[in-house]
Amino acid sequence: DAGITQSPRHKVTETGTPVTLRCHQTENHRYMYWYRQDPGHGLRLIHYSYGVKDTDKGEVSDGYSVSRSKTEDFLLTLESATSSQTSVYFCAIGTATNYGYTFGSGTRLTVV
Amino acid sequence: KNEVEQSPQNLTAQEGEFITINCSYSVGISALHWLQQHPGGGIVSLFMLSSGKKKHGRLIATINIQEKHSSLHITASHPRDSAVYICAAEGGSEKLVFGKGTKLTVNP
């Protein structure tokens, strides 16, 4: 969907370096989410935001931080990347009052 | 915490077969979502259900609130239906808890 874009699509980084993933939406949705997807696990919530400067932790938030300074942008930062953070990261937008959720195309992150 | 279980984990069918994927959850929810993920990774919302049944083309989703169970049916399956199907339970906090997915392969 053109309403939500993630960047970069692929990234390889070294252990110990900081990494920032960007999620950009044009739908003016209040709620935005960051998930990670790993083999053997369902999608797991890292952090979410319910408004500008309003964020909260999900079930796998350790090692991650987020920021939302504008409605349209939700940034996920790995403060010091580790190999266990190698994953596919998805951003999503939506609320319970909408039809459903819209997901970004994903970012495949490899930490070497 | 809500637990979401899907079955089967893997499903192989012949083109034209009727397919059912099941999803059970452990606590009350405000909505149940069905998602589709094709090889290459994109995730698409198929249905959001809070009661009853919804239909879109060859796909039908049902939910039984009392039994905490939902099913996704595909009629007249086609190879292009091959994908991972994911159910997700939404509680009052507007956060989703996902099942691990069912990988469907439809052979011609």
pLDDT in tens, A24-65: 999 898 999 999 999 988 899 999 999 999 999 999 999 999
pLDDT in tens, B6-23: 999 999 999 999 999 999
Query: Which residues does chain A have within 8 Å of residue B47's beta carbon, measured at their own beta carbons?
Result: 100
Give the Cα separation of B42 and A88 in Å (integer).
11
At B1, is the pLDDT very low, low, confident or very high (cuts 50, 70, 90)?
A: confident
Query: Which residues does chain B have within 8 Å of residue A43's beta carbon, measured at their own beta carbons?
Result: 86, 88, 96, 98
Q: What is the mean pLDDT of chain A?
A: 92
Range with the poorest average pLDDT among A70-79, A89-98, B75-84 = A89-98
DSSP B29-80: -SEEEEEEE-TT--EEEEEEESSEEEEETTEEEEEETTTTEEEEEESS--GG
Phi and psi at residue A72, in whole multiples of 5°?
A: -80, -15
The predicted pLDDT at position B94 comes to: 63
Distance from CA of B97 to the nearest CA of A (A): 7
Q: Give which of B19, B22, B24 is closest to B73, Cα–Cα.
A: B19
pLDDT in tens, B57-92: 999 999 999 999 999 999 999 999 999 999 999 876
Q: Give which of B69, B55, B107, B105 is closest to B85, Cα–Cα.
A: B105
Q: CB–CB of A38/A23 below 8 Å?
A: no
DSSP structural state of residue A83: G
The predicted pLDDT at position B92 comes to: 65
Query: Which residues does chain A have within 8 Å of residue B91's beta carbon, measured at their own beta carbons?
Result: none
Decide if A31 touches B, using CB distance below 8 A: yes
At A75, is the pLDDT very low, low, confident or very high (cuts 50, 70, 90)?
A: very high
Q: Is residue B39 pLDDT above 80, yes or no?
A: yes
Q: Does residue B101 sit in helix, strand or coil?
A: coil
Whether residues A42 and B4 touch (CB distance < 8 A) is answered with yes
Q: CB–CB of B89/B30 below 8 Å?
A: no
Whether residues B95 and A48 touch (CB distance < 8 A) is answered with yes
Decide if B91 touches A, using CB distance below 8 A: no
Q: Which residues partner with B82 through β-bridges?
A: none
The predicted pLDDT at position A6 comes to: 97
Q: Is residue A72 pLDDT above 60, yes or no?
A: yes
Whether residues B99 and A42 touch (CB distance < 8 A) is answered with yes
Q: What angle do CA A17, A20, A26 make, to 5 degrees?
A: 175
Measure CA A54 to chain center: 15
Give the Cα separation of B97 and A88 in Å (integer).
17
- Segment A93-100 shows an average pLDDT of 66
Decide if A71 touches B, using CB distance below 8 A: no
Q: What angle do CA A98, A60, A90 make, to 5 degrees?
A: 45
